Chains A and B, each alone.
Chain A
Amino acid sequence: MHRLSTVLAAVCVAATAANAIGAEKDAALQGIDAYREALQDGNPAELFELTGEELWTTPAGPKNAALSASCDLGLGVGVVKGAYAQLPRWFADTDRVQDLESRLLTCMETAQGIDPKPIIAASFSKPEKERLVALATYISGQSKGIPVSVKPGHPKEKAMYDLGQRMFFYQAGPHDFACATCHGQEGTRIRMQELPYIPSTKGAASGWTSWPAYRVSNGQMWSMQTRINDCFRQQRFPEPVYASDVTIALSMYMAANSNGESMATPGIKR
């Protein structure tokens, strides 16, 4: 009898030790979650929304035109309410599938007469890129709470989705990394950072519906283009060209996978 209770006690101790390690990890993750929640109030992204709104409504460029009076993001000229939630999509005038930022470049070129090449080439810390990110932040805020409505129907939209899906699994570079290396399993993390499983609706949405986002750690506002750019950097890939097809294809893959989920933009990240 005595021996049996000793054995039981030993089993209990072992189980408790295992649970203690688990509990400690949970506490650390919970701490990060609590910090994220505290950040929600007073998201500095609002400051970028103010700047973006001004850029949207103020005439600019050689043609001195305002985007709000000339730019069609898919719902009619000047309409921003809900526009971000239905992008990327195919546009008849360019015969291309475009995300928000590539579409803004088209509008700036055609309506305002601004050459997009220097903007595309500039690094993300340059003012010409910061303006695009501010515009994207403002426009994304006008879709907050609106469900994503991206259902590839046009043949070019379907092709863009197919390309994005194939790219998601494409391994290359010195580390053999693909997007799927980190985002292809459910419930994993890098260091303490939990990773969304992009092929699922919830996983795709946790990524797609939360960018553009303000990053507290470096005080920077990041658009989805910035996010994808830095993913490829960490993947040890060459740099994706701003607003190029590979960035739009991956955006289409994420957006269509998260169809029906609510936009939560602009977001805030630690």
Chain B
Amino acid sequence: MTKSTLIAAALAAGLLALHAGPAAAQSKWGPGADDATFQAMLKSSFKDNGIAKTARLTQDETQAFCSTPDNATDPAAAKKREAIEAANLATVKWPSDGKWLGDWKEGEKIAQSGRGLTWTDKAEQVNGGNCYNCHQITAEEISHGTIGPSLHNYGKLRDRDEATLKATWVRIYNSKSVNACSNMPRGGHMGIIDETQIKHLMALLLDPQSPVNK
């Protein structure tokens, strides 16, 4: 297990090193894609459909910054990344009743569901967490994505103390607090999932009874 993790880490490091070159050269877009032309294209190319309105194309500061790919790793952008992480951290709302963990069984359902917020979804329906799309979570579910790290044994590998609870909550509520250009959606901050759903996901990851930690 440790061996394969090490190899994976080494491979990931190698890939990052390879990508640093071309990405750095890409700090400016080609001359055909200046801001005015690009915005005009967005305006003429999209239309409202159901709950998915064109207003969604307007970026917040985090999205605008992370849409330049080398900003995620460029040392020159480190200060800006820190500022974005701090701004996102400030949005995090902690559990209103001081309780961190819900029901892991409900958490598993939320992790399995990828529904919600597309133009074929309804405003009143409950959104899913999309978790399995990118993460391995329980060992039983082999249909999982690999964009995010494996969360199998998440609670087992950590001390179940206040620091872990807070760090996990922040990750789910607003992942950009920890990594400015993380690929992970900001579940709580963007209103994709609510406080109760986050508690259920917390339980899936941290409850000793959860299959994640068996």
Contact = CB atoms under 8 A, between A and B. Distances in A.
Touch A–B, Cβ below 8 Å = yes
A244 interface: yes
Contact of B46 (A155, A159, A185, A238): A238
Contact of B146 (A176, A184, A188): A188
A239 to B, nearest CB: 4
Given A174-B191, A175-B117, A238 B54 contact: yes
Contact of A24 (B62, B134, B142, B190): B142
A174 B185 contact: yes
Contacts of B66: 171, 176
Interface residues of A, number: 55
Given A158-B32, A166-B29, A171-B63, A246 B42 contact: yes
A133 interface: no
A172 B66 CA distance: 10
Interface string A43-82: 0000000000000000000000000000000000000000
A161 B38 CA distance: 12
Contacts of A241: 44-47
Contacts of A167: 38, 41
Which one of A166, A180, A182 has the greatest number of beta carbons of chain B within 10 Å?
A166
Interface in A181-204: 181-182, 184-192
Contacts of A184: 69
A245 interface: yes
Contacts, number: 156
Interface string B48-89: 110011101111001100111100000000000000000000
B98 interface: no
A169 B59 CA distance: 12
A24 B66 CA distance: 36
Contact of B56 (A21, A238, A245): A238
Contact of A163 (B37, B133, B146): B37
Contacts of A173: 52, 56-57, 117
A176 B186 CA distance: 8
Contact of B57 (A28, A172, A186, A190): A172
A49 to B, nearest CB: 29
A160 B33 CA distance: 8
Contacts of A187: 146
Contacts of B68: 169
Interface in B167-187: 176, 183, 185-186
B15 interface: yes
B185 A165 contact: no
B31 A190 contact: no
Contacts of A175: 117, 130, 185, 190, 192
B24 to A, nearest CB: 14
A170 interface: yes
Contacts of B132: 191
Interface in B10-35: 15, 29-33
A171 B186 CA distance: 13
Nearest to A173: B56
B64 to A, nearest CB: 8
Contacts of A22: 4
23 contacts: A18-B4, A21-B139, A24-B142, A158-B32, A159-B30, A159-B32, A165-B29, A165-B33, A166-B33, A171-B66, A172-B59, A173-B56, A176-B190, A184-B69, A187-B146, A189-B146, A191-B145, A233-B118, A236-B117, A239-B47, A240-B45, A241-B47, A246-B46
Interface of A: 14-15, 17-19, 21-22, 24-25, 28, 155, 158-163, 165-167, 169-178, 180-182, 184-192, 233-234, 236-241, 244-247, 249
Given A169-B68, A176-B63, A245-B45, 4 more contacts: A159-B31, A172-B63, A237-B57, A244-B44
Interface of B: 1-4, 15, 29-33, 37-38, 41-42, 44-49, 52-54, 56-59, 62-63, 66-69, 117-120, 130, 132-134, 139, 142-147, 176, 183, 185-186, 190-192
